[in-house]
Amino acid sequence: MMSDAQKRAIRVDLQMIAEMIEPGSRLLDVGCGDGALLDYLIHEKQVDGRGIEISSEGVNACVSAGLSVIQGDADQDLDDYPDQAFDFVVLGQTLQATREPHNVLSNLVRIGKHAVVSFPNFGYWRVRMGLLLGGRMPQTKTLTYNWYDTPNIHFCTIKDFVALCCDLSIQIERGFALDDRGRARPIGETGMRFANLRGEQAVFLLRQS
């Protein structure tokens, strides 16, 4: 049997997200999957947490585990929520699978006082090399799908993401690039190029400006 702590061991990017969440806050996890992060935050950070998940298996697993999760998707269902309903809205590794990432981002910072977004960085050097040298659509640890069966339809690089936030007047409070060993480095103005190369994935804390 696993201990509670082991059961709640979460992915490195989720750990990064969790660190940005204030204890006891009201939180919505969009694309919460099997509820690992939500469960972790509820028990470790005492958040009042809710989730949205697109797959019925995910939803049923979450609700069966006592989590408040609804079946829905980021493109359609975020419109329903009122402004600033949550302290934090989390979108973990889901942005690239949405139909309209710009609308989703706008909704995140509208619904939440803060939004935490993580995504695979398409500017990561292995991705670039895969395409440049291999001539095939890249597959990495975080991008495991084939081009034909991937749910990921809107890839972006860290640079692209920052530019979009700028266009949408979304304020970046903090940003981190995670390398392939899960080490996080803050993304500064000057370190952008480096982060965009070294970061396998990125985690951003955002809010409406």
Q: Which is nearer to another protein, 66 or 151 (CB)?
A: 66
In angstroms, rounded to a whole number, what is the distance separating the alpha carbons of residues 156 and 179? 16
Minimal distance, residue 153 CB to another protein, in Å: 24
Q: Which is nearer to another protein, 81 or 125 (CB)?
A: 81
Nearest to 84 by CA among 50, 113, 106, 47: 113
Within 8-67, residue ranges assigned H as helices are 12-20, 36-44, 56-64
Task: By CB under 8 A, name the binding residues for another protein.
Answer: 48, 50, 56, 59-60, 62-72, 77, 80-82, 85-86
Minimal distance, residue 109 CB to another protein, in Å: 16
Q: Which is nearer to another protein, 44 or 160 (CB)?
A: 44
Minimal distance, residue 80 CB to another protein, in Å: 4
Minimal distance, residue 110 CB to another protein, in Å: 13
Token pair 């994935």 is found at: 201
Nearest to 37 by CA among 64, 60, 63, 16: 16
Residue 65 sits at φ, ψ, to 5 deg, of -90, 10
Q: Which is nearer to another protein, 14 or 69 (CB)?
A: 69
